[in-house]
Amino acid sequence: MNSPHKPYVHGRSDREAERLNYQASKLAGLLHHDTRYPPGSRVLEAACGVGAQTILLAKNSPLAEFISIDISPDSLVKAKLRVSHEGITNVTFRQADVYHLPFRPETFDHIFVCFLLEHLPDPIRSLKNMKEILRPGGTITVIEGDQLQREMGGNALIGRELWHLMTDAGFTKVAVSPRIVYADESRPEYVEGVKNIFIAMVEGVRERAIARGLLDNETWEKGIRDLHRTTEQDGTFCYTFFKAVGNKES
């Protein structure tokens, strides 16, 4: 079982909080443009972290009511501050574990999950738990990337497995759309994003990766140099996020 004290691959430093906020704002169009919830609907945001996606969700659907949960009390404190700083009033925060959700069956009209399943040892169990508290006819939206955390108990290729995970968890009409970030010299704002989102993310797990013996220092340094090369004049960078929407049958 996950606990607030379980190490989380990216850590919970202020720098990582900043990276998550930057990532959410830069990728807002790519990941959020097609997510809107109707007035009056009750939406669970599972694993809101420091509130980076919460702000976008709440602003895009100002008349929906969001309950945003996370297992980490520290992240929730940051998320609350951020949301109140933005003057957002349609979000309530609560500490909760997706493996033990403290809600009655069929409480929510919709559920939104971003960058959570990739960290969980048992993503299908968490999806089934979320299905319990979703009303029939409601939707679940899940956004994940492919990442590096198999060693920490997560799934490094989870993005491309979303369709199967969600279908196996019992959701119907699951539709997955790949969202591609592509950068070369002609798109300088994307090149900046590659540095501040993707390279910063990998650099942020350096100590942990080396301490766990995933690779040696020299291999690590070469990998980081190669990543930086993708942002140079003769480089290109390509990364795919996956966004899935599924339904709970009425």
Ligand X SMILES: C[S@@+](CC[C@H](N)C(=O)[O-])C[C@H]1O[C@@H](n2cnc3c(N)ncnc32)[C@H](O)[C@@H]1O
Is residue 71 within 8 A of residue 47, CB to CB? The reply is yes
Q: Residues 70, 109, 144, 161: which binds ligand X (CB under 6 A)?
A: 70
116 is a contact residue toward ligand X (CB under 6 A): yes
Least distance between ligand X and beta carbon 52 (Å): 4
| Minimum CB distance to ligand X smaller for 122 or for 184 | 122
Least distance between ligand X and beta carbon 70 (Å): 5
Least distance between ligand X and beta carbon 33 (Å): 16
Least distance between ligand X and beta carbon 97 (Å): 4
Q: Tell me the three-class secondary structure of 147-181, residue by residue.
A: CCHHHHCCCCCHHHHHHHHHHHCCCEEEEEEEEEE
Least distance between ligand X and beta carbon 112 (Å): 9
Q: What is the DSSP letter of 197?
A: I
Six token digits for residue 194: 């590659």
Q: Which stretch binds ligand X (CB under 6 A): 81-89, 115-123, 199-207, 220-228?
A: 115-123
68 is a contact residue toward ligand X (CB under 6 A): no
Separation between Cα atoms, residue 3 and residue 172, nearest integer Å = 30
24 is a contact residue toward ligand X (CB under 6 A): yes
Least distance between ligand X and beta carbon 43 (Å): 13
158 is a contact residue toward ligand X (CB under 6 A): no
Sorted by sequence, the CB contacts under 8 Å of residue 153 that are 6+ apart come out as 119, 120, 121
159 is a contact residue toward ligand X (CB under 6 A): no
201 is a contact residue toward ligand X (CB under 6 A): no
119 is a contact residue toward ligand X (CB under 6 A): yes
Decide: residue 102, CB within 10 A, 0-12 exposed, 13-18 middle, 19+ buried.
Answer: exposed
Across the chain, the runs of DSSP E, i.e. the strands, are 42-46, 65-70, 91-95, 108-114, 134-145, 172-183, 237-247
Q: Which stretch binds ligand X (CB under 6 A): 68-76, 103-111, 130-138, 191-199?
A: 68-76
Sorted by sequence, the CB contacts under 8 Å of residue 146 that are 6+ apart come out as 156, 157, 158, 159, 160, 240
98 is a contact residue toward ligand X (CB under 6 A): yes
Footprint on this chain of ligand X (rule: CB under 6 A): 2, 8, 10, 20, 24, 47-49, 52-53, 70-72, 75, 97-99, 114-116, 119
